[in-house]
Structure 1
Amino acid sequence: MKYRLLLLPLALAACAQAPETTSPAPATTTTSAAPTSTAPATGSSSLVQYHWQLTNATDSNGKRIDALFVREDKPVQLDFSPDRLNVINSCNSMGAGYTIRKGQLQVGSMVSTMMACHDPALAALDSAISQRLQGNLGVSMLAGGNAPHLQLVAANGDTLNFTGMATAQTRFGGPGETTFLEVAAQTVPCNHPLIPDKQCLQVREIHYDEQGLLTGTPGAWQPLNQDIEGYTHTPGIRNVLRVKRFTVRNAPADGPSTAYVLDLVVESQKIQQ
């Protein structure tokens, strides 16, 4: 029995379309009373460099907002582009346009997909997020240790705290190249100097036209003697992946000069043995 999930229109789009998009305002700078922290400029150029994972959320009375912490292993995450924010790890895909003006994050109308959420707590998560990411929120970004921290404060006093994790573009120093890799259902033996009996993904590069149709001739199958960041392979499942390919600067002599980071699983197919 085979199944296929085809998402090519989404895969070929840079990001989900928003009905409302605004241009970012010039960056503003905030300061902190903490003597050991410095406050970098809080503008879109700073926000887009990180994945922002929710670490704490309290209401005006200091009580934790438990509805925002449904899955401890998949915290709510905000990803920013220059004029749009997207919510990750909610039940539905959610996003909105935004601007930053005078220390305020101004969020436009939140839009989302309409997928049914069978877990009541997960279904309620979407509402809990959208209620707190609307209108004008106070925004500040502080340097702290190895990761920056972002704080959003709503008009009702709800306070959301996020920790930043550098994006692949930030870590590798460039936007990377978008490419599509077909991953075979089964791994193959390959050579690795440190791992005996190493099994590698078997991949080939494929191409699509602007209408999302396969074009040209796929590349030759070959073992990929490295991981694809963010991708976990399930034996027996053939996948088509949209990935970002980055050049690794100053790569070690025994390490790859290219890094692959998963952007989207475009197509999946179970292969019967």
Structure 2
Amino acid sequence: MKILLWSSLLPLTLAACSPSHAPDPAAAAPVATTAPALGGHHWQLHDAVDGNNQRLDGLFDGSGKPLQLDFTDDRISVSHACNGIGGSYKIVDGHLLTGPLMQTMMACADPVLMQREKTIKHVLGAKPALITSSADGQTLLSLAAADGTTLTFAGQPTAEQRYGGPGTIEFLEVAAEPVSCQHPLPPANNCLQVRQLHYDDQGLRVGDAGPWQPLAQPIEGYEHQPGVRNVLRVKRYAWPNPPAGAASSAYVLDMVVESGTATPDAK
């Protein structure tokens, strides 16, 4: 079984860039932004321009997931670039200041992913101005470096925002092959087969696994590949007013902990 968690981390200190021709933040009508406000959304890349106001088309490939930023009260993480990047941050006088960051150690052949990583490192290292705004009902977050490079992210509400509270962490092992079942959501005759696992505070598996059973609802953010077993860390949210026929709780993928091809006798 192959471990996919951040098994190799490399300290990365992002250097500040020397100012050249900084944009005028006042022209963008900046709004005071706090860490809790940032933490209520997943920030997905919506637009990007260089110092000459030319769109950075190399950051967009028209498919897959866009470059994404996520914030907690004191941590920032970058996903959907070549490597995952994360570390501490603070907001000082309207600028985003990151501390020493960590990143996974992967080499990517995809030029889009490489360009995303190069650009986000540059912008985060430049102590960018942080500007929030809205357009057509969409909440936007812009990071503007002193050289004019500006990345604009559209906010997507987090599961905590959508379900009205924090979720409960659970671990589910997903069998390699789905099973036949009946439930009201498509595909109506196909369910993931799952069982619950338990881990201690050191990340070591403890106790017995629960029984295998069909899960008659999707796991948000998870796409199953037939023939591949996965152990997932998920968040389960109470859903006080679910749609007709839906379950009273919702599962949202938090992390793929383990992944591997099933052996012939494995479920």
Q: TM-score by structure 2 length? A: 0.84
| Contact kept? 1:110, 1:134, Cα under 8 Å | no
Structure 2 equivalent of residue 220 of structure 1: 211
- Distance in 1 (CA, whole Å) between partners of 2:137 and 2:236 is 25
- Distance in 2 (CA, whole Å) between partners of 1:185 and 1:162 is 36
Pair 1:194–1:167, CA change in 2 (3 A): closer
Structure 1 equivalent of residue 168 of structure 2: 177
**Deviation at 1:104?**
1.6
Which is worse superposed, 69-78 or 235-244?
69-78
Match for residue 3 of structure 2 among 3, 6, 20: 6
Pair 1:156–1:163, CA change in 2 (3 A): same
- Distance in 1 (CA, whole Å) between partners of 2:147 and 2:186 is 55
Structure 2 equivalent of residue 166 of structure 1: 157
Paired amino acid for 1:223:
P
Q: Determine helix, strand or coil for the equivalent of 2:177.
A: coil
Match for residue 38 of structure 2 among 37, 44, 47: 47
CA offsets 1:7-30 (integer angstroms, 9 cap, x no match):
4687xxxxx89788xxxxxxxxx9
Structure 1 equivalent of residue 85 of structure 2: 94
**Deviation at 1:131?**
0.9
Pair 1:157–1:64, CA change in 2 (3 A): same
Pair 1:31–1:216, CA change in 2 (3 A): farther
Q: Determine helix, strand or coil for the equivalent of 2:257.
A: strand
| Contact kept? 2:43, 2:69, Cα under 8 Å | yes
**Deviation at 1:197?**
5.9
Match for residue 132 of structure 2 among 120, 123, 141: 141
**Deviation at 1:76?**
1.1
| Contact kept? 2:185, 2:217, Cα under 8 Å | no
CA offsets 1:179-209 (integer angstroms, 9 cap, x no match):
1001111211212257686111111111012
Structure 2 equivalent of residue 83 of structure 1: 74
| Contact kept? 2:28, 2:131, Cα under 8 Å | no
**Deviation at 1:144?**
3.1
Pair 1:194–1:255, CA change in 2 (3 A): closer
Match for residue 57 of structure 1 among 39, 48, 64: 48
Structure 2 equivalent of residue 129 of structure 1: 120
Query: Is residue 229 of structure 2 the alignment partner of residue 238 of structure 1?
Result: yes
Aligned residues: 252
Which is worse superposed, 261-270 or 113-122?
113-122
Q: Determine helix, strand or coil for the equivalent of 2:234.
A: strand
- Distance in 2 (CA, whole Å) between partners of 1:44 and 1:118 is 34
- Distance in 2 (CA, whole Å) between partners of 1:91 and 1:107 is 19
Pair 1:101–1:149, CA change in 2 (3 A): same
Pair 1:168–1:197, CA change in 2 (3 A): closer
Q: Determine helix, strand or coil for the equivalent of 2:138.
A: coil
- Distance in 2 (CA, whole Å) between partners of 1:152 and 1:43 is 14
Pair 1:74–1:8, CA change in 2 (3 A): closer
- In the alignment, structure 2 segments of 5+ residues that lack a partner are 14-24
| Contact kept? 2:181, 2:190, Cα under 8 Å | yes
| Contact kept? 1:109, 1:134, Cα under 8 Å | no
- Distance in 2 (CA, whole Å) between partners of 1:5 and 1:196 is 29
Match for residue 265 of structure 1 among 245, 256, 263: 256
* Identity, % of aligned positions: 47
Query: Is residue 152 of structure 2 the alignment partner of residue 155 of structure 1?
Result: no
Query: What is the RMSD of the two structures over their aligned residues, measured on CA atoms?
Result: 2.7
Structure 2 equivalent of residue 26 of structure 1: none
| Contact kept? 2:59, 2:113, Cα under 8 Å | no
Structure 2 equivalent of residue 103 of structure 1: 94
Paired amino acid for 2:182:
N
- In the alignment, structure 1 segments of 5+ residues that lack a partner are 11-15, 21-29
- Distance in 2 (CA, whole Å) between partners of 1:33 and 1:126 is 26
Match for residue 105 of structure 2 among 92, 114, 128: 114
- Distance in 2 (CA, whole Å) between partners of 1:97 and 1:77 is 16
CA offsets 1:155-196 (integer angstroms, 9 cap, x no match):
111111111001111111112011100111121121225768
